[in-house]
C-alpha cells in the first residue's frame, strides 16, 4: 500500500482483526454486486469506501424518480441514466482508487457463470426469485460465497450461503426453486427506505468479513428484521439433503 492508502484505510488498519494484511486482502478482492438499487446502493458504497479493489455492478434498469427515496447511489441529476453507470460514478466519487465495472445488462447462463467465477464474493441485491436462484446456482457451481439480502415493506432478511463450508445450506435449501413463492414488488407493496440501508450495509459487512477471513459469517443462519419494532430474529438453517442445487456435494 502507498502512503495515501495507509491514510485512507487507517481506521481499518487500526483494528487488530484487519490490520495491513486484511486491508491488502480487500484491495486484492473482486466483489460482484447483482442489483444497483435499494440494497446494492449501500452495499456497494461501503465496499468501495472500505477498499474492495474491484467492484462489478450489474443492473439493466435506469434511474427513476421513484428510486431516489431509497436508492442512495443515485441522484436527481442522473434520472434516466443506467443504474450501473450511475452507481459507478457514485463509487468512484467516494474512492477513485477502486476499479468499478458497470454492466448495464441482465446476466444469466454462461455470462453469469463467468462473472461469478471471477469474483471473490457475490452480493445478491436483486428483487426477484428467478435472479436469486440463478445467482445461487452459479455461486455453488463455482464455489464462491454468496451474501443474500431482501427487503419489502418493513421486513428484511439476510444470510450467507457459502459452498466452501460443508454444513452451509444454499439459498434453494430455504427457498426451493419449485416452491410456490410469489415475487412482491416494492412498486405495489412499498418499502421503508432506511431498512434497505440497514440490510445493504450488513451485506457489505458480511462480504468484507468473508474476504478478510475474520469473525463468524451468517452461513447457517437467517436473520429476520422487523422494522416496526426493530427486533432481529436469528434462525438456524440446515442443508436440505434433497436440495436440487447442493444435494450430494461433499
Active site residues: 186
Query: b/e map of 29-66 (b: 16 or more CB within 10 Å)?
Result: bbbbbbbbbbbbbbbbbbbbebbbbbbbbbbebbbeee
How far apart CA 60 and CA 114 sit, in angstroms, is 18
How far apart CA 241 and CA 46 sit, in angstroms, is 36
Contact (Cβ atoms closer than 8 angstroms) between residue 129 and residue 181? yes
β pairing state of 99-103 and 54-58? parallel
> What does each C-alpha distance from 135 to 105, 140, 141, 196, 245 come to in angstroms?
14, 9, 10, 20, 11
Beta-strand ranges (E) seen in 63-168 are 99-103, 121-124, 146-152, 155-161
> Rg of the chain's alpha carbons, rounded to an integer?
17
Amino acid at each position: 500500500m502507498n502512503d495515501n492508502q495507509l491514510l485512507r484505510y487507517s481506521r481499518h488498519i487500526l483494528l487488530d482483526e484487519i490490520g495491513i494484511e486484511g486491508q491488502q486482502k480487500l484491495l486484492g478482492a473482486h466483489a460482484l454486486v447483482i442489483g444497483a438499487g435499494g440494497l446494492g446502493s449501500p452495499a456497494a458504497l461501503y465496499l468501495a469506501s472500505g477498499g474492495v479493489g474491484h467492484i462489478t455492478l450489474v443492473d439493466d434498469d435506469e434511474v427513476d424518480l421513484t428510486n431516489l427515496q431509497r436508492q442512495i447511489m443515485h441522484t436527481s441529476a442522473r434520472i434516466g441514466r443506467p443504474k450501473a453507470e450511475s452507481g459507478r460514478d457514485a463509487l468512484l466519487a467516494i474512492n477513485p482508487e477502486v476499479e468499478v465495472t458497470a454492466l448495464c445488462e441482465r446476466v444469466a447462463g454462461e455470462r453469469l457463470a463467468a462473472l461469478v467465477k471471477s469474483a471473490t464474493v457475490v452480493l445478491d441485491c436483486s428483487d426477484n426469485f428467478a435472479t436469486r436462484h440463478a445467482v445461487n446456482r452459479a455461486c455453488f457451481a463455482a464455489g464462491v460465497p454468496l451474501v443474500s439480502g431482501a427487503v419489502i415493506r418493513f421486513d428484511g432478511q439476510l444470510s450467507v450461503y457459502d459452498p466452501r463450508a460443508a454444513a452451509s445450506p444454499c439459498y434453494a435449501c430455504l427457498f426451493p426453486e419449485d416452491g410456490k413463492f410469489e415475487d412482491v414488488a416494492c412498486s405495489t407493496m412499498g418499502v421503508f427506505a432506511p431498512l434497505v440501508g440497514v440490510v445493504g450495509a450488513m451485506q457489505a459487512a458480511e462480504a468484507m468479513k468473508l474476504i478478510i477471513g475474520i469473525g463468524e459469517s451468517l452461513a447457517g443462519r437467517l436473520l429476520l428484521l422487523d422494522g416496526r419494532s426493530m427486533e432481529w430474529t436469528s434462525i438456524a438453517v440446515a442443508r436440505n439433503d434433497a436440495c436440487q442445487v447442493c444435494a450430494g456435494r461433499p
